[in-house]
Amino acid sequence: MVTIKSKKEIGYMREACKVVDAVYKKIEKEIKAGMSTWDIDQIAEKEMVRLGAIPAEKGYRIGIPGVPDYPAATCISVNDEVIHGIPSKDRIIKEGDIVSVDTVALKNGFNGDAARTFMIGKVSNEAKRLVEVTKQAFFEGIKYAKKGNRIGDVSHAIGEYVYSKGYSVVKEFQGHGIGKEMHEDPGIPNYGRAGRGLRLEPGMTLAIEPMVIEGREDIIELDDGWTIITQDGSLAAHYENTILITEKEPEILTLL
């Protein structure tokens, strides 16, 4: 069921999203070659706790037999890892890597969700272009995240922009509604037909998240039950924000 947030609930959403924004500002200052992905995760968790929030991804359960609860405060995916990479003390980031960090903060019973892909030192022109296109795909999509438009309008805009640049979008995973639950209705694919899907209304809060692959769209799930990688080994990038549908333009809650 899609929830329309009250003014009070939107206030709580703002607080959670403010924490997420602060986490990324902190990571941006500190991330560098030689750090482990676990080091980055700990920076994020400490910042969330300092600001009175709970790392919502830690202990997250998908309910599939044999898949453990998610063990870390963030998802950190490097290079050909698309999403849900598990932070590790053994995974050391290097000059030229691209590192996607996905963070969900829970505060006052509401969630804020965003993802960023960081470029470590001097990256290749190809990697830089992929990261930039992925970020811009989000902004192309939210041009249509307005009262009276439909989910398909947002999805179509994202997909068409990505395809026009010669890249692929991940089809098995998508954006989503967000609020008291990390994942709420509606689902928001990164491709599709305009004019289809749920009509957008003020008070909806949505996590819109292009996941873009440099090569083919095919993906593989690793044996840990979480990490998703590109089948052909090509690079992937991820960019996400929580937004609020208003009477006019959408408001990006996780970008302050």
Tens of pLDDT along 175-209? 999 999 999 999 999 999 999 999 999 999 999 99
Distance separating alpha carbons of residues 228 and 144, to the nearest angstrom: 29
Instruction: Report whether pLDDT(65) > 90.
Output: no
> With pLDDT > 90 as the criterion, what percentage of the chain qualifies?
97
- In this structure, are residues 19 and 248 in contact, taking their beta carbons and an 8 Å threshold? no
Task: State the pLDDT confidence band at 90, using cuts at 50, 70 and 90.
Answer: very high
> With pLDDT > 70 as the criterion, what percentage of the chain qualifies?
100
Angle at the Cα of 240 from the Cα atoms of 160 and 106, rounded to 5 degrees? 150
The three-class DSSP label of residue 25 is helix
Q: What is the DSSP letter of 5?
A: P
Supply the pLDDT for residue 159: 98
The three-class DSSP label of residue 235 is coil
- In this structure, are residues 112 and 252 in contact, taking their beta carbons and an 8 Å threshold? no
Nearest to 178 by CA among 72, 92, 56, 81: 56
**Mean of the pLDDT values across residues 160-187?**
98
Cis peptide before 202 (omega within 30 of 0): no
Count other Cβ atoms within 10 Å, centred on residue 25. 12
Supply the pLDDT for residue 150: 98
Q: What is the pTM of this model?
A: 0.97
Supply the pLDDT for residue 94: 98
Distance separating alpha carbons of residues 15 and 182, to the nearest angstrom: 15
Instruction: Report whether pLDDT(63) > 90.
Output: no
Report the run of H or E that residue 44 belongs to, with start and end. helix 37-50
**Mean of the pLDDT values across residues 225-245?**
98
b/e per residue, 165-195, with b = 16+ CB within 10 A?
eebbbbeebbbbbbbeebbbebebbbbbeee
**Mean of the pLDDT values across residues 125-146?**
98
The tokens describing 165, both together, are: 């640049």
Supply the pLDDT for residue 1: 87
Distance separating alpha carbons of residues 176 and 182, to the nearest angstrom: 9
Instruction: Report whether pLDDT(67) > 90.
Output: no
Domains of the chain, first to last: 7-251 (3.90.230.10)
**C-beta pairs of 59-65 under 8 Å, 24+ apart in sequence:** 60/182, 64/225
Interstrand relation of 175-177 and 228-230 (parallel, antiparallel or unpaired): unpaired
Task: State the pLDDT confidence band at 62, using cuts at 50, 70 and 90.
Answer: confident
Instruction: Report whether pLDDT(54) > 90.
Output: yes
Query: Mean pLDDT over all residues of the chain?
Result: 97
Task: State the pLDDT confidence band at 66, using cuts at 50, 70 and 90.
Answer: confident
Supply the pLDDT for residue 64: 79
Instruction: At 28, give phi and psi (nearest 5°).
Output: -55, -35
**Mean of the pLDDT values across residues 103-114?**
98
**Mean of the pLDDT values across residues 62-75?**
90
Q: What is the DSSP letter of 6?
A: P
Supply the pLDDT for residue 151: 98
